[in-house]
Structure 1
Amino acid sequence: MSNSIIKEINYVKGIAIILVFIGHAATPSFLDRPYNYEFLVQIIYSFHMSLFFFISGILSYKVLDMNLKENYLHFIKLKFFRLLVPFFTISFITNFIIIIFKQLLNDPLSIENLLNMFKTMLLYPENGVMGALWFLYTLFIIIAISPLITKLPIKIVLTASLLLNIFVPQYKNFLSFSRLSFFLVYFLIGLYFRKYYLDKKKINFKDMSTFKKFIVSILSIMLITFYSYIITNQINIPKYILSTLNFLCGIFGIILIFIIIEKIKNLRVLHILSYLGQYSMDIYLLSWFFQISSMVLISIILKISNYTIFFISNLLIGSLCIPFSKYFLRKFKIFRFLFFGEIDQPSLHQQPTSLNN
């Protein structure tokens, strides 16, 4: 993959991880989330994870031409290290913290409860203490099946994945089935986008006229705002219409982000986005620990009930995850493996492995 493509993908991941970071900082945990923050979070959630799965598909483009007999098992092994080793590491750490707190509060867990914790982690990842790790779990399953299903004709694969996206109900959490069904289509679109756009240039997005980009941007913003308004205000509409709107938000949100990247390509802010994109895995995995410390500090210790102060504190303290990772965790080979799934010693000039690589 050329350096220019890598840079552009890092820009997109930079925006995406900022959205994840903001969404987690504006949590309703500890303090009720005001309406304006709720609306902001629903805007973010309408497309930001779809964007990550789309990028994951682009970065996994080699599965389209994979020789299953020769390469599949080695491929799965590498993805297990990359995705599931961090998943298990963070899950064990968070569960261990819960066990310690319960011991301190004289509420020790029984053997049955401990077994249920492990069962939840393995089979129902969204229901666990660190439910946000569902992304790594779901992405591993999608990547594992993608070399198999992409051997089928593209029309069948995309049609079936679209139907799964719209018609599979939410909250089927066994093996993260609902998440898998919803996000598979974006991953596959990323795969085929890589093949037909980045490789063969059959789709030339950059040649789209300024007027067309403006119209698409306005439509994207209107659609995302409309959907977010429905969710925020809990307006009752038929579930399959809502699912279709959700799917379209993902597609138009992805397009909107690429239009924004193209628009700001000459600004210095891209250097910041590229940096954040490179450390997206670090932010995704570690920011929660710093943000939860901020939440406890503000709402419980300092007893501050102002949500804006709560939110800003979560952003500021949460951002400490980057220097913690860069100057401590990544200095040790064992931590790079356990927390980021990195196997080989990086060279002096090698950039950190970012989310979706």
Structure 2
Amino acid sequence: MTEIRQNRIGYIDTAKGIGIILVCLGHAITNANKSINVEHSVLLQFISQFHMPFFFAISGFVFGEKNFDNPIRSSWKKFKAYYIPFVVYNLIFVLLHNVMTNFHIFSNYYSIKEMIYDILMVLTFHIQSICGAMWFVRTLFTIVIMFIWVKYFIRRFLPVKYEEIMTGILVLIMQVCSLLNICPRAFRIDLTCAYFLFFYLGYLIKKYGWHQYITGYKYVFVAVGLLLNGLLANFYTYAIGGPCEGYVVLIRYIGQLSGILMLFAIAQIKIISDSRVLRYLGTKTLDIMALHFVCFKIVSYIIINVYGLDLSHMGDIPVVFGIGGFWWILYVIVGLLIPVVIRILFEKMRSMLRINFIKENLK
């Protein structure tokens, strides 16, 4: 068994667990209409520099070479893995829209016509606001499909030695288009172009064994990442809505790269990589992505009652605006725990139905 296989659960799933905690934390402290005005803006800036680039990087890291052998079959597999869960989760919130309006989570009731319209929008990769973090799944799906076919055609028409050169050129062209804001926004291709670079970086780290250097110098990468991103978080606001022009673009890339390498390194520190909790959370990232916004509403309801706020604040996304303190801790706990419990209950229910179905057919 190779080193990578041995570490697959121990540090890849751990890394994903760390990443999803940062996602929930970032949303839990976003307690203002504009991110730049949040109470813990430095912490949000620190997280926002690298947590989503890291998720794309680790998706590229675990991307298998076999996906290029049969692009049609691989595309179908990715369709089932990403598009179907995206649609299912968003459709659930469309169908429950009027029920959730009764709890002031939404401000208006849907007519049949509006519900049909939203269903069609979901089927064409549009996101319900309560399921906002699923933009990652949509973007990752687009990146993966593009990557499969780009690599397939490059391998068919170019010598092997030019494969990564041509792929790298295409990825850099997309990144330039993203910086120039000339990418189409349909199906958020602009996000695909922006994050493709990090997916490809993760793929290269795995392909060329660069992860071994991260393993060997993990404490250096952790120290440099914490120091560098801590300094950038205090002096620049590009990650939460500040300007990103000129030399600041280069600074952003430095923060993103150092943050990605830092999280890869942190996940390999033994006391962290051995954490069963982090590993388990790493296997439930899709459910947490999809459900933590709506689970946040439990904490929002508590806050509204504690402070005597108007129930319309149930519609604040991701959390109740204007309330500081340590409520973000409860938001994070609920945002991580409840989706996992929902998934466990769903799996048990499905297992019971399957057993009952088998029993009925054996009679």
Q: Under a length normalisation based on structure 2, what TM-score does the superposition of the two structures give?
A: 0.75
Matches within 5 A, 1:65-144: 66-68=68-70, 72-101=71-100, 108-110=109-111, 113-123=114-124, 125=126, 128-144=129-145
Are 1:289 and 2:294 matched, yes or no? yes
1:104: Cα distance to partner?
Answer: 9.2
Q: Per the alignment, in what secondary structure is the counterpart of residue 2 of structure 1?
A: helix
Task: Give the equivalent residue in structure 2 for 1:13.
Answer: 16
Amino acid at match of 2:260: I
Match of 2:361 in 1: none
Return the offset for 1:245.
3.4
Is residue 2:192 matched to residue 1:180?
yes
In the alignment, the residues of structure 1 paired with residue 22 and residue 171 of structure 2 have an alpha-carbon distance, to the nearest angstrom, of 25
Range with bigger deviation, 10-19 or 165-174 = 165-174
User: Kindly, what percent of the aligned residue pairs are identical?
Assistant: 21
**Counterparts in 2 of 1:50 and 1:32: CA distance versus 1, 3 Å:** closer
- Taking the aligned partners of 1:287 and 1:170, their CA distance within structure 2 comes to 32
Aligned length: 326
Q: Which amino acid aligns with 1:315?
A: V
Q: Displacement, 1:23?
A: 1.5
After superposing the two structures, state which structure 1 stretch, 46-55 or 35-44, moved more: 35-44
CA 104–134 in structure 1, closer or farther in 2 if over 3 Å, else same: closer
2:46 paired with 1:43: yes
Where 1:125 maps in the other structure, the secondary structure is: coil
Describe the shift of the 1:245–1:275 C-alpha distance in structure 2 as closer, same or farther (beyond 3 A): same
Matched residue, 2:348: 331
Structure 1 residues 77 and 34: alpha-carbon distance in aligned structure 2, compared to 1, 3 A threshold: same
Distance 1:51 1:315 in 2: 19
Question: 1:328 aligns to what SS in structure 2?
Answer: helix
Equivalent pair of 1:30/1:295 in contact (CA under 8 Å): no
User: CA 1:109–1:82 in 2, change beyond 3 Å: closer, same or farther?
Assistant: same
* Alpha-carbon spacing, 1:301–1:210, altered in 2? closer, same or farther (3 Å): closer
8 Å contact from structure 2 (residues 214, 261) kept in 1: no
Q: Which runs of 5+ in 2 are unaligned?
A: 155-162, 310-321, 354-363
1:256 aligns with 2:262: yes
- How far does residue 310 in structure 1 lie from its aligned partner after superposition? 3.6
**CA–CA distance in 2 between the matches of 1:185 and 1:148?**
16
Give the TM-score taking structure 1 as reference length. Answer: 0.76
**1:61 partner amino acid:** G
Find the counterpart in structure 1 of residue 158 from structure 2: none
Aligned twin of 1:298 = 303
Q: What is the CA distance between 1:166 and its match in structure 2?
A: 4.3
> What secondary structure is seen at the aligned counterpart in 2 of 1:204?
helix
1:254–1:101 CA distance, 2 compared to 1 (3 A): closer
Is the partner of 1:332 in helix, strand or coil?
Answer: helix
Instruction: In structure 2, give the amino acid aligned to 1:290.
Output: C
| Contact kept in structure 1, 2:28 and 2:328, CA below 8 Å | yes
Q: In the alignment, residue 198 of structure 2 is paired with which amino acid?
A: Y
User: 1:14 and 1:235, CA in 2 relative to 1: closer, same or farther beyond 3 A?
Assistant: closer
CA distance in 1, matches of 2:35, 2:204: 42
Task: Give the superposition deviation at 1:319.
Answer: 3.5
1:297-351 C-alpha deviation (Å, 9 max, x unpaired): 3136753664225423322333431552354112133899xxxxxxxxxxxxxxx
- 1:350 matched residue in structure 2: none
Aligned residue for 2:30, secondary structure, equals coil
Closer, same or farther: CA 78–255 of 1 in aligned 2, 3 Å: same
What is the CA-CA distance between 1:107 and the residue it aligns to?
A: 5.2
Q: Is contact 2:10-2:274 (8 Å) kept?
A: no
Change in Cα spacing, 1:315 to 1:127, as seen in structure 2 (3 Å) is: closer
Q: Which residue of 1 aligns with 2:312?
A: none
Q: Which runs of 5+ in 1 are unaligned?
A: 337-357
Correspondence for 1:316? 333
How far apart, in 1, do the equivalents of 2:77 and 2:52 lie? Answer: 23
Which residue number corresponds to residue 285 of structure 2? 280
The residue type equivalent to 1:174 in the other structure is A
Question: Alpha-carbon deviation of 1:50?
Answer: 0.8
The Cα of 1:102 is off from its aligned counterpart by 5.3
Q: Is the 8 A contact 1:33 1:307 kept in 2?
A: no
Q: Which amino acid aligns with 2:348?
A: K
Q: Are residue 165 (structure 1) and residue 168 (structure 2) matched? A: no
Preserved contact between residue 47 and residue 249 of structure 1 (Cα < 8 Å): yes
Mapping for residues 240-251 of structure 1, pairs under 5 Å: 241-251=247-257
Change (3 A) 1:225 1:270: farther
